[in-house]
Amino acid sequence: DVKVTQSSRYLVKRTGEKVFLECVQDMDHENMFWYRQDPGLGLRLIYFSYDVKMKEKGDIPEGYSVSREKKERFSLILESASTNQTSMYLCASTTGAQANYGYTFGSGTRLTVV
């Protein structure tokens, strides 16, 4: 089974801190995604990557950046955490040039910014 592992289940950070969320997948998938999930808003795409060193902005990239130095790892960076970035963050990966084989999600990281 494909596994997508997110390094932390729960994180509490202070306003202004630089925050790193890590995601690792073990099935050589090309495409990786970061979403945030908020009640009533569903899953919103922050950034995605379809290859090493490649990154593309999603629908809500402001305040975030990403890094993909190795194929299996996709990191989400909050440059200066703010309280409105308190949310559940989900990482996903998939194979196929057209991403139509279904995503595998990690278990999520619940981030609280105080």
Partner 1 sequence: GENVEQHPSTLSVQEGDSAVIKCTYSDSASNYFPWYKQELGKGPQLIIDIRSNVGEKKDQRIAVTLNKTAKHFSLHITETQPEDSAVYFCAALPSGGGADGLTFGKGTHLIIQP
Q: Which residues lie near partner 1 (CB under 8 A)?
A: 4, 31, 33, 40-43, 45, 48, 50, 56, 58, 90, 92, 94, 97-100, 102-108
DSSP state letter for 75? E
Q: How far is the CB of 108 from partner 1 (least distance, A)?
A: 5
Q: How far is the CB of 34 from partner 1 (least distance, A)?
A: 11
Q: How far is the CB of 20 from partner 1 (least distance, A)?
A: 19
**For partner 1, the closer CB: 47 or 81:** 47
CB-CB contact of 25 with 33 (8 Å): no
Q: How far is the CB of 60 from partner 1 (least distance, A)?
A: 12
**For partner 1, the closer CB: 16 or 102:** 102
CA nearest to 73, candidates 36, 110, 113, 20: 20
Q: What is the distance between the alpha carbons of residues 87 and 57, in angstroms, rounded to a whole number?
A: 19
Q: How many residues does the chain have?
A: 114
DSSP state letter for 71? T
